[in-house]
């Protein structure tokens, strides 16, 4: 009988294995633990954000309730673990080495006192006398407590416990849109102000890089818009979504109009040369005759949003409902069952907020368990 069985050796599972007292077992379905950590932040692992307010999360109130349970600061925690940090733009926190493998090394070193079984798929969990029985591809294991840290993609274990779930959607990903205005632009990048309108209301605005694709649009500025769209779908509050691109973001109307008027008078062919990429100009410019109309058009390229692109999604929106757990992350129904990280219906914007949540929730749950041992 183990003290705690940790299901899933990702960000929150590994941190729990570092922190938990007692005799613990970590079960991971893949051949190695922490594989996803290695690809986060383009291989640099953006593990937190120093500008964090709580508003970046789908449920800020619940995030703060969990945060209050942890008396210290997550960045200080990493320093205590010997992980040196550096700050990139917009408050993004990375390991000083700029390599995600450093974060995984620190976690694996901390977790060495736990027993780890890889290639072990957990199928279900059930309450057993005095604790839990965990059914896996490798047989059954028993423990006094269980931590469900299996990420957002797998809700089967939560279902086996009859926990209440929301619908789930991929997010922080590319958006499928109608493509008639994007012909020939696959692979072209542009700077744009991106606005997402849901059922007539502007829900998100961000300036940044947009990458045009055959199926729609991708790029950093689109990722956060995809999160707002996925949240609206989860809440069943989205009949119609429109993405508007302002391709002249950062320029004054007047300065562009002056150049365009001169070119129109001269009869130039490539009106937009030197302003935006010729390829984009050709794709989006209709038969406009005056400079004001062209500027207005370039500021409001409208694309109907048709869906979320699963392939490159960084997170899952939705999961086990937050009202299933206390701020200590313990289940309200099952004593000794804890849920951490992405398996819960809590998600954050791009910028280190999702790993921060995975780590913070694991710390708070481990702390609660340690107090009871
Ligand atoms: C390409 C990419 C880049 C990202 N970049 C960032 C970033 O820079 N910053 C940021 O904050 N977030 C980033 N994220 C999101 C972040 O990685 C996740 O939010 C975070 O890893 C969630 O942690 P978790 O512990 O809840 O789940 P995970 O890290 O997904 O871990 C879950 C683990 O459980 C295992 N598992 C699942 N089912 C079972 C089962 N039945 N039995 C046994 N084991 C199981 C999985 O194999 C996995 O190892 C990125 C995600 C991706 C995909």
Token pair for 48: 């937190």
Most confident range, picked from 232-236, 271-275, 279-283: 232-236
First to last CA, the chain: 14
Q: Which atom of ligand 1 lies closest to the CA of 45? A: 8
The stretch 237-259 carries a mean pLDDT of 97
* CA 32 to ligand 1 centroid distance, Å: 13
Q: What is the pLDDT of residues 325-368, one digit of tens each?
A: 999 999 999 999 999 999 999 999 999 999 999 999 999 999 99
For residues 196-208, average pLDDT: 97
Expressed in angstroms and rounded, the spacing between residue 349 Cα and the centre of ligand 1 is 15
**How many domains, the chain?**
2
- Token pair of 56 as six digits: 């970046």
Q: Looking at residues 291-298, what average pLDDT do you find?
A: 93
Last residue of a domain, one of 289, 308, 327: 308
Backbone angles phi, psi at 74, to 5 degrees: -60, -35
The preferred substitution site among 311, 339, 356, 358 for testing ligand 1, maximizing ligand atoms within 8 Å of CB, is: 358
Mean of all residue pLDDT scores within the chain: 96
Confidence of residue 8 (pLDDT cuts 50, 70, 90): very high
Distance of CA 168 to the CA centre of its chain: 13
Q: Please check the confidence at residue 220 and state whether its pLDDT lies above 90.
A: no
CA of 152 to the centre of ligand 1 (A): 7
Q: In this model, does residue 289 exceed pLDDT 80?
A: no
Gap from CA of 316 to ligand 1 centroid (Å): 10
Are residues 303 and 327 located together in one domain of the fold? no
pLDDT-above-70 percentage for the chain: 99
Residue 286 has pLDDT above 80, yes or no: no
121 in the same domain as 20: yes
Same domain, yes or no: 349 and 322: yes
Question: ∠ at Cα 71 (68, 75), nearest 5°?
Answer: 100
Shared domain check, 186 and 69 = no
Of 308, 330, 352, the residue at which a domain comes to its end is 308
The reported pLDDT for the residue numbered 174 is 97
Ligand 1, atom 49: closest residue by C-alpha? 10
Q: Are residues 22 and 79 in the same domain?
A: yes
What's the CA-to-centroid distance between 46 and ligand 1, angstroms? 13
Q: Assess whether pLDDT exceeds 80 at residue 223.
A: yes
Tokens representing residue 216 in the block: 């729609």
Residue closest via CA to ligand 1's atom 5 equals 40
pLDDT, mean of residues 293-316: 94
Query: Are residues 208 and 99 located together in one domain of the fold?
Result: no
Which pLDDT belongs to residue 282? 84
Q: Assess whether 183 and 294 both reside in one domain.
A: yes
- State which ligand 1 atom lies nearest to the alpha carbon of 157: 41
The model's pTM: 0.96
- Domain hosting 284: range is 175-308
For CA atoms 168, 171, 173, 179, give the dihedral sign.
positive
Residue 127: count of CB within 10 angstroms of its CB: 15
Most informative mutation of 40, 98, 119 for ligand 1 (most atoms within 8 A of CB): 40
Residue 184 lies inside a defined structural domain of this protein: yes
Are 41 and 70 contained in the same domain?
yes
Say how far apart CA 358 and CA 360 lie, in whole Å: 6
């Amino acid at each position: 009988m183990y003290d705690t069985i940790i299901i899933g050796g990702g960000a929150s599972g590994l941190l729990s294995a570092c922190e938990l007292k007692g005799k613990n077992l970590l079960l991971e379905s893949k051949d190695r633990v922490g594989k996803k950590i290695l690809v986060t932040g383009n291989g640099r692992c953006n593990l937190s954000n120093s500008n964090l307010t709580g508003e970046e999360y789908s449920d800020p109130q619940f995030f703060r309730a969990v945060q209050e349970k942890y008396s210290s600061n997550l960045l200080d925690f990493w320093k205590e673990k010997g992980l040196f940090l550096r700050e990139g733009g917009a408050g993004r926190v990375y390991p000083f080495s700029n390599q995600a493998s450093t974060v995984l090394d620190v976690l694996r070193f901390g977790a060495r006192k736990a027993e780890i079984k890889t290639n072990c798929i957990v199928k279900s969990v059930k309450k057993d006398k005095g604790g839990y029985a965990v059914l896996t591809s490798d047989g059954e294991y028993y423990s006094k407590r269980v931590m469900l840290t299996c990420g957002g993609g797998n809700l089967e274990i939560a279902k086996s416990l009859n926990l209440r779930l929301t619908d789930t959607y991929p997010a922080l990903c590319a958006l499928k849109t109608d493509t008639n205005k994007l012909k020939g632009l696959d692979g072209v990048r542009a700077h744009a102000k991106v606005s997402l309108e849901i059922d007539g209301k502007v829900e998100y605005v961000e300036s940044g890089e947009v990458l045009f694709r055959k199926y729609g649009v991708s790029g950093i500025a689109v990722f956060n818009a995809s999160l707002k769209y996925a949240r609206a779908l989860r809440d069943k509050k989205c009949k119609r979504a429109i993405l508007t691109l302002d391709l002249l973001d950062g320029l004054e109307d007047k300065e562009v109009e002056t150049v365009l008027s001169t070119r129109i008078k001269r009869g130039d062919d490539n009106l937009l040369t030197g302003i935006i990429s010729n390829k984009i100009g050709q794709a989006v410019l209709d038969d406009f005759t005056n400079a004001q109309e062209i500027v207005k058009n370039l500021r409001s390229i409208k694309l109907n949003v048709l869906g979320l692109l699963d392939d490159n999604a960084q997170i899952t929106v939705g999961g086990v409902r937050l009202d299933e757990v206390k701020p200590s992350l313990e289940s309200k129904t099952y004593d000794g069952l804890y849920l951490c990280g992405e398996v819960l219906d809590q998600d954050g914007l791009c910028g280190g907020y999702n790993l921060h949540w995975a780590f913070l929730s694991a710390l708070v749950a481990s702390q609660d368990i340690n107090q009871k041992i």
